[in-house]
Structure 1
Amino acid sequence: MAQMGGRRPLVADKRYSAARPQPAKPAPKPAAAKPSRAPARRRRHRNPLVAGVAWLWRGIWRVIWGIGWRLGLAAALILAGTVFYFQSQLPELTALLDARQRGSVTMLDRDGKVFAWRGETFGGQITAETVSPHLKNAVIATEDKRFYGHFGISPRGIASAIRINLAEGRGPLEGNGGSTITQQVAKLLCLGVAFDLAKWKTEAEYEADCRQGSVWRKIKEIPFAVALELKYTKDEILTIYLNRSYLGAGARGFEAASQRYFGISAANVTPAEAAMLAGLLKAPSRYAPTANLQRAQDRGALVLGLMHDQGYLKDADYTYAMAHPAQLSQAAAARAGGFFADWVMESGPSFLTRETTEDVIISTTFDQRIQTAAEAALAAVFGAKLREGSETQAAIVVMSADGAVRAMVGGRRTPNAGDFNRATQALRQTGSTFKPFVYAAALDLGYTPDSIILDAPLTINVRGSGPWSPENYGKEYYGEVTLTTALARSLNTAAVRLSEAVGRDAVRAVASQFGFASTLADGPALALGVSESTLLEMTGAYAGILNGGTSVRPYGLIELRLQGEDAPLIGQAGGMGERVITRAAAAELTWMMTQVIEAGSGGRARLPDRQAAGKTGTTQAARDAWFIGFTADYVAGVWMGYDDNTPLAGVTGAGLPAEIWQAVMVNVHEGLPATPLPTASPESWRAAPTAPPGQGGNQNEDPIGRLLREIFGARGN
């Protein structure tokens, strides 16, 4: 074939052709000779000791690492298993909100207002969403500002707490614990251990055991706290905390505390009130505002500062809250009715009061205004008339004519629950306050206020004791006097003669039916009040005179019901009883007792704007001093004395007790219209024939009784 274009023919290169000559390459430069290191190695011999230590360290490290990662893995597995176990044991949220083993008693006054609580009250379930945002913020700012950012524990908080404890000279786990809110909830839940009466005698012992700060307890808190975080949301954990925390004065949970201290729901508290409530978490008893309001306010101010610093309060709100600290409600500030509440608790069945497992509401006869009036009067008289540091005690009872107790002061100082109540528990000789029942028996038998009795020295031979000679106070005698004069001047020999004339059995019967529960004396000294009684019994007996001669049983409980239910379980336990003396006799006796105040020994009890009746009383050696009396509206009794029966110095029933009674009744009747007492006018009995001296109208008396009456009416000694 012809060649085209003079190109070379397309032929394959010969694979194995002879080597073609290549262009000559420049000869490589000889490499520079590298210095030999052999001599250096020979010069750096390793120290055998260092080599041995290095070898030993590498071995130890391998062992530590081998053991460490295995132990870490085992610990992680144990922690995970423990967390899973705790989580599986945790119940639904609602089962954890009310942890009380016993219920509570809430008492309402006559107007339906709360005035006292007993037991641990639980105001009702609240949640983190329903409480006031101020309260929620105050709790977080105070207790755990990183609450929404950690997973149950805060290493930073623990480290900070340890540093503070060591700096203040305490052990690392003493004092500040660095616990998160979740860890505190773990404590409140006692790490899931339920209360067992066989192991702990009281709930206090159970809770103290739950709060112990041992290392082992701290270690157990960690998996339980993590389990809580896995089981519940953050707000649910906070809800448990808000419901279960103890906040002083028997309040369990923030709703109960808000109701107790401020009289409002936890949903409505102001920043200042929220700060005070949150401040209680540190030490509930110490910072309870009912114990020390100023201390609680100072603690609240500290919490307000934390809220402001963490951005929960604007400058204006912070300034206003600091200038207007939280104040107690009127009922909480008064702390009124402690003795009354204790008495009501004793009057009901224990399974519904002292040992109740339910929340109970008791409506009572209590009047907070009258209670405050009585307490103020006692404080004023004692402050003006007693020396500083005096241990003299006093008690006051105010009630209506039907026995409804309106106020009760069981001692000079504000009580703690269960303190000794001198109005209901102290059995004391009644002295001359017993005499109206001698005169009541006589009037019921036909005597009149104008009947004549002899007041002169008297000696009676008492079987088994020998001769007994009563004396008048001041040893002055007035001869023949009317019963009215004898009672007004509290003449002892006249009262004994009258008692012997009408018969001691008749006197005992009248006194017992009017309400004396104690055993009455058998001898002639019965008329002078040697028998013992309580102030409550005595005041109730005088109420029977006021209401026309019908006995009363003093009462404070109107009805008892369970919280949330309308039907009462128990109704009123007390009130009007059986007639003891005639209405006419009661009216005559009332008139005679007005003369005790108008013209007799009770002059210091005279009221400026209304009629009053009463009787003084002083026992042997002045160990007890009494004044009991009434207006048309209220009956009041006052007792003074020492708990150890030390004689009073210069005090009789006509003195300080009458002054206290007068001050109480002036306060109690403020704003009330003056109402006359139900007395009989002198004309009503003076128109009738007057019984002979020493005789009454009982025509069925046996001859021996009449003879004894004539003897005692005629003999002077």
Structure 2
Amino acid sequence: MSDSGRRPPRLTATRSAPRKGRAGKGSGKNGARSRKPAARKTVKKAPSRRATPRRRGPAGAVLAFVWRLVWGFTWRVSLIVALMIGGGVAYYYSTLPGMQELLDGRPRGSVTMLDREGTVFAWRGAQFGGAVTAGSVSPHLKHAVIATEDKRFYMHPGVDPIGIAGAIRINLSEGRGPLEGHGGSTITQQTAKLLCLGNEYDPEVYESESAYEASCRQTTLWRKIREALYAMAMEAKYSKDEILSIYLNRAYMGGGAYGAEAAAQRFFGKPAAAVDPAEAAMLAGLLTAPTALAPTNNLQRSRDRAAVVVRLMEDQGYLTQAQAAQALSEPAGLSEAAEARAGGYFADWLMSSTPEYLTRDTTEDVVIRTTLDQRIQEAAEEALVHVFETKVREGSEAQAAIVVMSADGAVRAMVGGRKLRVSGVFNRATQANRQTGSAFKPFVYATALELGWHHDDVVVDEPITIDIPGSGPWSPENYSDNFYGPVTLTEALARSLNIPAVKISEQVGRENVRSVASDFGLESDLADGPALALGASESTLLEMTGAYAGILNGGSAVTPYGIVDLRLKGDDEPLIDNTGGGIRERVIREEAARELIYMMEKVVSQGTGQRARLEGREAAGKTGTTQAARDAWFVGFTSDYVAGVWMGYDDNTPLTGVTGGGLPAEIWRETMLRVHEGLEPRPLPMLRPPPRPETSRQTPRDTRPGDVGETVLEQVLQELFGGGGRR
């Protein structure tokens, strides 16, 4: 039969009813189950555990709601912040130029000064030694910078959260605000700050360059955020070594040096590629406080900081224990040019006497070849120190200045005060206008000789009175308060007699004297009255020394100069060229100059300047002492060099027991002895008249009344005070 019409059988077994006891109800005798079918019951299937909703209490529901709210807010805000960071980074990335354009970031140019031998002795301005890279500098320098400034430099994306957290913790523990003090900045962030986040100086936006620099150093929260974005953009644009290269070139490292190369040359006289561990540690140590830690300001402080850097390098594995021990036992020293700091008074003078656009305000790198002779400079400094240590009482505040030059006006040395190796301080050689006293008298006699007088002409030293309109009668006196009667011009100058000088000045004409002195280079205002002959006018030591150089060279005026040539770095043609020297127009005849030199030689060999005598070498000069001994001078020359010395107090306090023939003459002598070491003596270019017999108009020295004069007075002062007086 066909089964097509039948229902398919159930595949699920019918559930048996539970049994009660061994034989349930309806069982047969034998306990067999009754075959009578039981009533069918509908059984509900238990719901799945997974599908069953868990019922929460009110608190759970609130927590779930809050969680959903916080999570939704967080991921949305995070997305917005991420988009903003990405946008900021992308914006700054688009503004970043090529790496090479960022290496030289100085606000101004530099001035490099060379001495007469072509050796660098001073730098000024923003010195840049040339671009270097992280790969071209000494590995010790690279490691020192990383160990000191950012030990996780190669691991972070421009911002170091660990470093920031540590800095905030330190700031708070020290009682400062979280952003005050330690900043936790990475090298990348510091580089971003050096770049001022890409903002260049605009005079229409900033009041001054200092205001611009202050804006670049802001530490506000918003500024820090922008700095972080800029740093991350730099990390995306440049490699780590490129960022480090920018940093090594732009960082200010003290002493006017911008970048590692300039600093290495400035302090050690070598390229950045050649610095050893001790020098590298010193350079890296400057980055935290370049001005305060500069070795030219405080070498010991700089060395102490370098020792800390050496230990950091050892701890981080950049130096072996032996290398670190050597760097600590042999700390870095300064080059000779660095020892001279910034060139001292001589460099100050050049910077102030040259057009600002080529020196102080230069936007280019300028190289100046100068007249400075460092051997002579050292000689002058040693002489000054020697005299003050041996002849001047301890604690004296008296000052002195020295200028040494050649006969053409080329300045070879300059000392502007007792404090040596300084810069930016008052220069008494060029800035102090002081009365010249009797040091002016050679120009009175130069005028007379030019007008036909001679060295052996006679003038009577006697009391005189001159009526000065508006002031009344004036009676000059000699320093010794004595009168010597008829004296030759030579004797009058040698003894520094006042009355003969005044009488000659009045006879040849004050205007002529003023003209000759001015033509020789005394450009300060010259006195109008008869006291002109006694040095009532003021002048600087540099002017006086230059005027005496005109006498030595045969009567032609000179312009004291310190620049041989000035050119832009890399240029062949100079912008300033003084290779022809400083000799200008003739003032007096050569014969008159030779006669005047003869008279001035007698000042040193027989007169008031005898303490300036140089054994075995001819010298000429003139002493000068002003009223109340407020200023004391000695200016003189040999056939090779001219030197001038001034001594006094800055506040015009009178000197005690000091005249021009005393301590200034001794300083001059000590200077010239050192200057002429190794030089063969040469005769002065002076008149050498034949000996002449005594005449009735010349009274012998040993019988002339009052012949103590200034020379004897000097000897008395020497006995009383030792060395011509102590002050």
* Residues in 2 aligned to 1:144 and 1:112: alpha-carbon distance in whole angstroms: 40
1:479–1:84 Cα change, 3 Å? same
Do the aligned residues in 1 keep the contact of 2:524 with 2:538 (CA within 8 Å)?
A: yes
Letter aligned with residue 66 of structure 1 = G
Do the aligned residues in 2 keep the contact of 1:450 with 1:690 (CA within 8 Å)?
A: no
Aligned twin of 1:668: 675
Aligned twin of 2:242: 236
1:257 to 228, 242, 263: 263
1:502–1:133 Cα change, 3 Å? same
* Residues in 2 aligned to 1:271 and 1:361: alpha-carbon distance in whole angstroms: 31
Aligned twin of 2:81: 75
**Does 1:642 pair with 2:645?**
no
Do the aligned residues in 1 keep the contact of 2:124 with 2:342 (CA within 8 Å)?
A: no
CA shift, 1:309, in A, is 1.4
Question: Any idea what SS the aligned residue of 1:251 has?
Answer: coil
Letter aligned with residue 605 of structure 2 = E
* Residues in 2 aligned to 1:201 and 1:366: alpha-carbon distance in whole angstroms: 39
Aligned twin of 1:98: 104
Letter aligned with residue 613 of structure 1 = A
Question: Any idea what SS the aligned residue of 2:158 has?
Answer: coil
* Residues in 1 aligned to 2:477 and 2:14: alpha-carbon distance in whole angstroms: 161
1:286 to 279, 288, 292: 292
Q: How does 1:182-221 map to 2 (within 5 A)?
A: 182-221=188-227
**Does 1:132 pair with 2:138?**
yes
Q: How does 1:590-605 map to 2 (within 5 A)?
A: 590-605=597-612
CA shift, 1:55, in A, is 3.6
**Does 1:434 pair with 2:440?**
yes
Question: Any idea what SS the aligned residue of 1:175 has?
Answer: coil
Question: Any idea what SS the aligned residue of 2:177 has?
Answer: coil
CA shift, 1:14, in A, is 12
Do the aligned residues in 2 keep the contact of 1:451 with 1:692 (CA within 8 Å)?
A: no
1:24–1:184 Cα change, 3 Å? closer
Do the aligned residues in 2 keep the contact of 1:447 with 1:691 (CA within 8 Å)?
A: no
CA shift, 1:435, in A, is 0.4
CA shift, 1:364, in A, is 0.8
Aligned twin of 1:326: 332
CA shift, 1:172, in A, is 1.9
**TM-score scaled to structure 1, two decimals?**
0.87
User: What percentage of residue pairs aligned between the two structures are identical?
Assistant: 64
Do the aligned residues in 1 keep the contact of 2:341 with 2:422 (CA within 8 Å)?
A: no
The Cα offsets for residues 262-305 of structure 1, whole Å up to 9 and x where unpaired, read as 11111111111111000000100111000011111111111111
* Residues in 2 aligned to 1:680 and 1:28: alpha-carbon distance in whole angstroms: 157
| 382-391 or 536-545: bigger deviation | 382-391
1:658–1:16 Cα change, 3 Å? same
**Does 1:629 pair with 2:639?**
no
* Residues in 1 aligned to 2:117 and 2:8: alpha-carbon distance in whole angstroms: 131
Gaps of 5+ in 1: 1-11, 31-49, 694-717
Letter aligned with residue 641 of structure 1 = G
The Cα offsets for residues 299-338 of structure 1, whole Å up to 9 and x where unpaired, read as 1111111111111112222222222111100111123632
Letter aligned with residue 654 of structure 1 = G
* Residues in 2 aligned to 1:654 and 1:61: alpha-carbon distance in whole angstroms: 98
Aligned twin of 1:541: 547
* Residues in 2 aligned to 1:273 and 1:203: alpha-carbon distance in whole angstroms: 32
Aligned twin of 2:33: none
1:495 to 490, 498, 501: 501
Aligned twin of 1:463: 469
1:314–1:377 Cα change, 3 Å? same
Letter aligned with residue 240 of structure 2 = K
Letter aligned with residue 679 of structure 1 = M
Letter aligned with residue 501 of structure 1 = Q
CA shift, 1:24, in A, is 14
* Residues in 2 aligned to 1:233 and 1:513: alpha-carbon distance in whole angstroms: 65
Aligned twin of 2:148: 142
1:681 to 688, 691, 695: 688
**Does 1:269 pair with 2:284?**
no
* Residues in 1 aligned to 2:697 and 2:61: alpha-carbon distance in whole angstroms: 129
CA shift, 1:465, in A, is 1.8
CA shift, 1:556, in A, is 0.8
Aligned twin of 2:662: 655
1:222 to 215, 228, 238: 228
CA shift, 1:447, in A, is 2.6
**Does 1:473 pair with 2:479?**
yes
CA shift, 1:52, in A, is 4.5
Aligned twin of 1:315: 321
Question: Any idea what SS the aligned residue of 1:83 has?
Answer: helix
* Residues in 2 aligned to 1:239 and 1:206: alpha-carbon distance in whole angstroms: 24
CA shift, 1:204, in A, is 3.2
Question: Any idea what SS the aligned residue of 2:154 has?
Answer: helix
The Cα offsets for residues 537-592 of structure 1, whole Å up to 9 and x where unpaired, read as 10001001111111111111111111111111221185111222222222222122
| 154-163 or 62-71: bigger deviation | 62-71
Letter aligned with residue 225 of structure 1 = A
Letter aligned with residue 112 of structure 1 = G
Aligned twin of 1:40: none
Do the aligned residues in 1 keep the contact of 2:340 with 2:421 (CA within 8 Å)?
A: no
* Residues in 1 aligned to 2:235 and 2:8: alpha-carbon distance in whole angstroms: 87
* Residues in 1 aligned to 2:136 and 2:350: alpha-carbon distance in whole angstroms: 35
* Residues in 2 aligned to 1:439 and 1:656: alpha-carbon distance in whole angstroms: 25
1:24–1:620 Cα change, 3 Å? closer
| 666-675 or 245-254: bigger deviation | 666-675
Letter aligned with residue 544 of structure 2 = M
* Residues in 1 aligned to 2:150 and 2:260: alpha-carbon distance in whole angstroms: 17
Aligned twin of 2:559: 553
2:614 to 607, 612, 623: 607
Question: Any idea what SS the aligned residue of 1:682 has?
Answer: coil
Q: How does 1:147-158 map to 2 (within 5 A)?
A: 147-158=153-164
Do the aligned residues in 2 keep the contact of 1:108 with 1:364 (CA within 8 Å)?
A: yes
Do the aligned residues in 1 keep the contact of 2:122 with 2:340 (CA within 8 Å)?
A: no
Do the aligned residues in 2 keep the contact of 1:448 with 1:691 (CA within 8 Å)?
A: no
CA shift, 1:639, in A, is 1.1
* Residues in 2 aligned to 1:308 and 1:300: alpha-carbon distance in whole angstroms: 12
1:421–1:178 Cα change, 3 Å? same
* Residues in 1 aligned to 2:216 and 2:106: alpha-carbon distance in whole angstroms: 15
CA shift, 1:618, in A, is 0.9
Question: Any idea what SS the aligned residue of 1:305 has?
Answer: helix
**RMSD, aligned CA:** 2.8
Do the aligned residues in 1 keep the contact of 2:343 with 2:423 (CA within 8 Å)?
A: no
1:390–1:196 Cα change, 3 Å? farther
1:243–1:598 Cα change, 3 Å? same
Question: Any idea what SS the aligned residue of 2:577 has?
Answer: coil
* Residues in 2 aligned to 1:566 and 1:174: alpha-carbon distance in whole angstroms: 50
Aligned twin of 1:515: 521
Do the aligned residues in 1 keep the contact of 2:132 with 2:245 (CA within 8 Å)?
A: yes
Aligned twin of 1:375: 381
Aligned twin of 2:703: none
Do the aligned residues in 1 keep the contact of 2:343 with 2:421 (CA within 8 Å)?
A: no
* Residues in 2 aligned to 1:17 and 1:514: alpha-carbon distance in whole angstroms: 145
| 469-478 or 564-573: bigger deviation | 564-573
The Cα offsets for residues 218-277 of structure 1, whole Å up to 9 and x where unpaired, read as 122211110000000001100110000001111111111111111111111111111100
* Residues in 2 aligned to 1:328 and 1:97: alpha-carbon distance in whole angstroms: 26
Letter aligned with residue 627 of structure 2 = Q
Do the aligned residues in 1 keep the contact of 2:342 with 2:423 (CA within 8 Å)?
A: no
**TM-score scaled to structure 2, two decimals?**
0.86
* Residues in 2 aligned to 1:469 and 1:29: alpha-carbon distance in whole angstroms: 160
